[in-house]
Structure 1
Amino acid sequence: MTDAELPGRPRTGALTGRASARAYCVLAPNPSPMTLDGTNTWIVAEPDSEEAVVIDPGPLDEAHLAAVVATAERLGKRVALTLLTHGHADHAAGAARFCELTGTRVRALDPALRLGGEGLAGGDVVTTGGLELRVVPTPGHTSDSLSFQLPADGAVLTGDTVLGRGTTMVAHPDGRLGDYLDSLRRLRSLTVDDGVHTVLPGHGPVLTDAQGAVEFYLAHRAARLAQVETAVENGHRTPADVVARVYADVDRALWPAAELSVRAQLDYLSEHGLI
């Protein structure tokens, strides 16, 4: 879900393996320009508990889903609950099958994605096997996007809201830029006030400078928005024209995703009377 590989981006960490005391990543085999190295499926558990939570089982890939179950077992865990950050297929298409394999409930914000259990909403606290996950509403990439704060590790699992490399798209018309900017500010407050220092993203490597990553995203969005506004003022009126002007430095394979973000930016500028 990236629109660019950008210089100065804080990044670190392996794509597969243990990322913190309570979080272990299993990388799905679905690399692409949109998914980077693939989808990060997260197994999260208290070290001394036999129960684990899986966040984003990923695409409907039997080998990957089996690998997640096997990895949990190797870690001495039983998958007790499945959570979704949002409904895009690279994160959620395998959820129903994963539910069959593990016998777990699937909890999500979108009722259409829930299986056998209650939903999720901002402010909820999920507790499983002594683990505490706080549900943080982070709409913008999509309307149903959630993040999960893991207080014990000073971490937040961000799905596609913040990636481990590059920047994400605002998936217009479901995603809205105003919502996304609010979500980034909400994440920034976690880094300033709640001790969050690590981002466990839905794609790409772990980020150990959470505040720096969120600040980078906010600055990047402000810069892109200014570029779009200037492009419109210079007569580039259609989204495709704006993409060609503003995203000329971005791989053309990502221009369709960039156009979704541009449409969201144009809506935002129009709503605020700036164009």
Structure 2
Amino acid sequence: MSRFPAIGEHAQHPAYGVLRKVTPVASVMLADNPSIMTLDGTNTWLLRAPDSVSCVVVDPGPLDEAHLARIAACGPVATVVITHGHPDHAEGARRFAELVGAPTRAVNPALCHNADPLHDDDVIAAAGLRLRVLATPGHTADSLCLLLDHETGKAVLTGDSVLGRGTTVVAHPDGKLADYLNSLHRLADLPPGTLALPGHGPELPDAAEAARRYLTHREQRLAQVRTAVDELGGSPTARQVVEVVYADVDHSLWAAAEWSVEAQLEYLRTEN
């Protein structure tokens, strides 16, 4: 869960239930779970080298039997990876593991099934590919990205750390803004032209450039929050700050905005 999309994005999407090839080694299937927080739905990624029979599945998504069955039919599945523990990415993982008999790996040990938890710089070798784990906490404490360096090109699966559209919520108190800024700097250092394969929204041609845009956006929001705190005086609540900083944003998104503002206020208190 994570972002601030435009309103009115909930019509039936033509990509539901369809496996779409994005690169020679990465395909995506969109889960039918659209909402204010999930955009058109969760992207479930299937990764396999051109000569591999098996695949790696990233973020099986919600507990939707039809979606999980369609992904399972694309197997065999060598391993399952979860980018973070929010239900729109991980709720269906245990059921999916039962369907395909594959281990499930994540940073959080509670999300792992017949496998060890993942750590920064771990390498997952499966389906003819090598995926390097980048620990990218901030959206959540357990957020990770997966760097895929194949002869056909470089890509990074970003989960909710970078989205194909909109901005990411720092899910306070689990998510920390200081961690998120550090993670964005790490993504901004990726080689130019590294394709971003996000957990929601369309793929982006340059993950590093997207991360730099996010950093600029965060700096602007922090400046707005600082100004709002000064204008409001005392110790304003997150809701009071939201009403000032997000006055031009649809009110249906204010509850999500409060998460990020709580994280920003905590960051400013620590910074001072």
The alignment's TM-score, normalised by the length of structure 2, stands at 0.92
Q: Match of 1:167?
A: 167
Q: Does 1:111 align with 2:109?
A: yes
Q: Match of 1:53?
A: 56
Amino acid of the structure 1 residue aligned with 2:186: R
Amino acid of the structure 1 residue aligned with 2:255: P
Query: What SS is found at the alignment partner of 1:42?
Result: strand
Distance of 1:191 and 1:269 partners within structure 2: 31
Contact 1:59 1:89 in 2 (8 A): yes
Structure 1 residue 4, shift from structure 2 partner: 4.5
For residues 204-243 of structure 1, the aligned pairs below 5 Å read: 204-235=201-232, 237-243=236-242
Q: Match of 1:62?
A: 65
Q: 1:95 aligns with which of 93, 110, 121?
A: 93
Contact 2:136 2:161 in 1 (8 A): yes
Query: What SS is found at the alignment partner of 1:163?
Result: coil
Distance of 1:27 and 1:129 partners within structure 2: 21
**Greater length-normalized contact order (CA 8 Å, ≥ 6 residues apart):** 1
Distance of 2:248 and 2:27 partners within structure 1: 34
The one-character-per-residue Cα deviations of 1:181-218 (angstroms, maximum 9, x if unpaired) are: 000000111135xxx52100000001113222111100
Distance of 2:232 and 2:119 partners within structure 1: 42
Distance of 1:251 and 1:112 partners within structure 2: 36
Aligned in 2, Cα 1:35/1:4: closer, same or farther, shift over 3 Å? closer
RMSD: 1.5
Q: Match of 1:10?
A: none
The one-character-per-residue Cα deviations of 1:116-156 (angstroms, maximum 9, x if unpaired) are: 11110111000013211000010000000000001113110
Q: 2:33 aligns with which of 30, 34, 55?
A: 30
Contact 2:45 2:59 in 1 (8 A): yes
Structure 1 residue 100, shift from structure 2 partner: 0.5
Amino acid of the structure 1 residue aligned with 2:123: V
Amino acid of the structure 2 residue aligned with 1:218: L
Amino acid of the structure 1 residue aligned with 2:88: D
Distance of 1:126 and 1:159 partners within structure 2: 16
For residues 69-80 of structure 1, the aligned pairs below 5 Å read: 69-70=72-73, 72=74, 77-80=75-78
Distance of 2:111 and 2:165 partners within structure 1: 27
Q: Match of 1:11?
A: none
Gaps of 5+ in 2: 7-14
Contact 1:136 1:147 in 2 (8 A): yes
Gaps of 5+ in 1: 6-13
The one-character-per-residue Cα deviations of 1:223-244 (angstroms, maximum 9, x if unpaired) are: 0000000000001611101001
For residues 132-143 of structure 1, the aligned pairs below 5 Å read: 132-143=130-141
Structure 1 residue 65, shift from structure 2 partner: 0.2
The one-character-per-residue Cα deviations of 1:77-107 (angstroms, maximum 9, x if unpaired) are: 4111000000000000000000000000000
The one-character-per-residue Cα deviations of 1:223-269 (angstroms, maximum 9, x if unpaired) are: 00000000000016111010011112222211111000000000000
Q: Match of 1:149?
A: 147
Contact 2:196 2:203 in 1 (8 A): yes
The alignment's TM-score, normalised by the length of structure 1, stands at 0.91
**How many residues are paired up?**
258
Distance of 2:208 and 2:174 partners within structure 1: 27
Contact 1:58 1:93 in 2 (8 A): yes
Distance of 2:213 and 2:249 partners within structure 1: 18
Contact 2:188 2:209 in 1 (8 A): no
Contact 1:53 1:79 in 2 (8 A): yes
Contact 1:45 1:51 in 2 (8 A): yes
Distance of 1:123 and 1:267 partners within structure 2: 29
For residues 1-40 of structure 1, the aligned pairs below 5 Å read: 1-5=2-6, 17-40=20-43
